[in-house]
Amino acid sequence: MITSCSSGSAPAGDAAADETTTTSSTPPPKPVSLTTGPADAAVDVAPGVPVVATATDGKITSVALTNPEGVAVAGRLSPDGLQWTNTEPLGYQKTYTLAVTGEGADGKPVTKSSTFTTVKPRTLTYLSVNPQDGTTVGVGQPLAFYFDEPIADKAAAEAMISITTEPRVEGAFYWFDEKTVHWRPQAYWAPGTKVTINAKIYGKHVGNGVYGEEDRLITTTIGDSVIHEADGQTHQVVTKVNGQVVRTMPTSMGNAENPTPTGVYVLTEKHAHMVMDSRTYGLSLEAGGYVTPVDWATRMSNSGIFFHSAPWSVGDQGNRNVSHGCLNLSPENAKWVFDNAKQGDVVIVTNSGGPELQPWDGFGDWQVPWDQWLKGNR
Enzyme catalytic residues? 308, 326
DSSP symbols for 71-109: PBPPEEE-TTSSEEEESSPPPSS-EEEEEEEEEETT--E
- Scored b (16 or more CB within 10 A) or e, 324-335 reads bbbbbbbeebbe
Q: What is the distance between the alpha carbons of residues 14 and 5, in angstroms, rounded to a whole number?
A: 20
Burial of 266 (0-12, 13-18, 19+ CB in 10 A): buried
Closest listed residue to residue 295, CA positions, set 339, 258, 253:
339
The enclosing H or E element of 60 equals strand 58-66
Q: Any idea of the CA torsion for 33, 34, 40, 45, to the nearest 10 degrees?
A: 140
User: Which among 244, 235, 246, 231 has a CA at the least distance from the CA of 340?
Assistant: 246
Residue 90 in contact with residue 44, Cβ under 8 Å?
no
* Alpha helices for 150-192 (secondary structure H): 154-160
Helical H segments across the chain, by residue range: 12-18, 154-160, 331-340, 370-373
CA torsion sign for 286, 288, 292, 296 is negative
Are the C-beta atoms of 93 and 118 separated by less than 8 Å?
Answer: yes
